[in-house]
Amino acid sequence: MRGVFLDLNTVDRGDLDLQPLRQALPHWDLFQRTAPEEIAERIRDAEVLVTNKVCLGPEAIAAAPRLKLICTAATGTNNIDLAATSERGIPVCNARNYATDSVVQHVFALLLTLVTRMDAYRADIRAGRWSESDQFCLLDHPIRTLAGMHLGIVGYGVLGQATGRMAEAFGMRVTVAGSLRPDAAGADDRPALDDLLPELDVLSLHCPLTERTQHLIDARRLAKLSADSLLINTARGGLVEPSALAQALRSGHLGGAGIDVVDPEPPPADHPLLAPDIPNLVLTPHTAWAARSARQNVLEEVRANIEAFVAGAPRNIVAS
């Protein structure tokens, strides 16, 4: 079988061991990146196709008559037309639980940066204010402790659960919001998100992006949070309405936000959250998942998915 990896550069920057791919299949065409107009030619003879963020619509899938399996080098499958793959009977398998440690440490890197006012103090040092100080330390930006804070978690899968455990290690009180899935109604005794928001010091998002969760955190829900509360989003950019978040931070209604994901990515230069005047915003370029160990785990997940398919027992099937 021949495999094609369309965008290896999104996972490997020359620092990973590619042996898992070679263990899974003997023949690979590895492309660092693939433009839309290059897809059809590159996948024409593919039997196994791996993509991270390259979009595969009906036309692309039709251009690969020998295709037997699609693997995503990620958990999300928004970039693949699952109706078209199902029509062809092509299984789509994703990578799961490969970046838990990386994401959770990033959640707390964002949170700790906000509560310690790390960015503000580093800016003071660069501006020479510590050297000019008449005392041994600077105390211009109030510092808070995580211990005793109330953390609300939306989405209680592997990442949400791991975030909760880490929060408890910091002495935080953790409450999980009720499930947003329609089939959970009446069977979930956890508090509804709208009821929980006014009680929180920190809100951390770990749910998938669906039609139901698009702009889940909008102006109405931001208004329910207290003026010194913090928002953390390492899940999907579309969960938060960006203009509403920017306004909440500018007005001082929200104490701060740590954001690793936006919509779209990469963001245009005029994206609302890239404005230089937004206070107490820590923005990172979708790197919560990107520890080297996590990226290596992605390749191991791809290997396991291919080997399971070849053995006749596919795993991590999203659609077929």
CB-based contact 261:237 (threshold 8 Å): yes
Helix (H, G, I), strand (E, B) or coil at 3: strand
> How high is the pLDDT of residue 267?
98
Contact 146/111 with Cβ under 8 angstroms? yes
- What's the confidence (pLDDT) of residue 135? 97
Q: How many CB atoms lie within 10 A of CB 27?
A: 12
Distance, in Å, from the CA atom of 71 to the CA atom of 314, rounded to the nearest integer, reads 11
Pick the catalytic residue: 286, 300, 307, 315? 286
pLDDT digits (tens), the chain, 320 positions: 899 999 999 999 999 999 999 999 999 999 999 999 999 999 999 999 999 999 999 999 999 999 999 999 999 898 999 999 999 999 999 999 999 999 999 999 999 999 999 999 999 999 999 999 999 999 999 999 999 999 999 999 999 999 999 999 999 999 999 998 777 655 678 999 999 999 999 999 999 999 999 999 999 999 999 999 999 999 999 999 999 999 999 999 999 999 999 999 999 999 999 999 999 999 999 999 999 999 999 999 999 999 999 999 999 999 87
Give residue 320's pLDDT. Answer: 77
Q: Token match 């206070």: residue? A: 279
Q: What is the identity of the amino acid at 314?
A: P
Asked if 106 is an active-site residue, the reply is: no
State residue 161's pLDDT score.
Answer: 98
**Residue 236 annotated as catalytic:** yes
- Residue 70, exposed/middle/buried by CB under 10 A (0-12, 13-18, 19+)? buried
Query: How far, in Å, are 27, 79, 158, 195, 197 from residue 155 at the CA level?
Result: 39, 22, 9, 16, 14
SS3 22: helix
In order, the DSSP letters of 76-131 are --TTB-HHHHHHHT--EE---SSSHHHHHHHHHHHHHHHHHTHHHHHHHHHTTTTT
Catalytic residue among 59, 87, 168, 265: 265
Of 236, 271, 295, 303, which one is the catalytic site residue?
236
- Chain centroid to Cα 42, Å, comes to 28
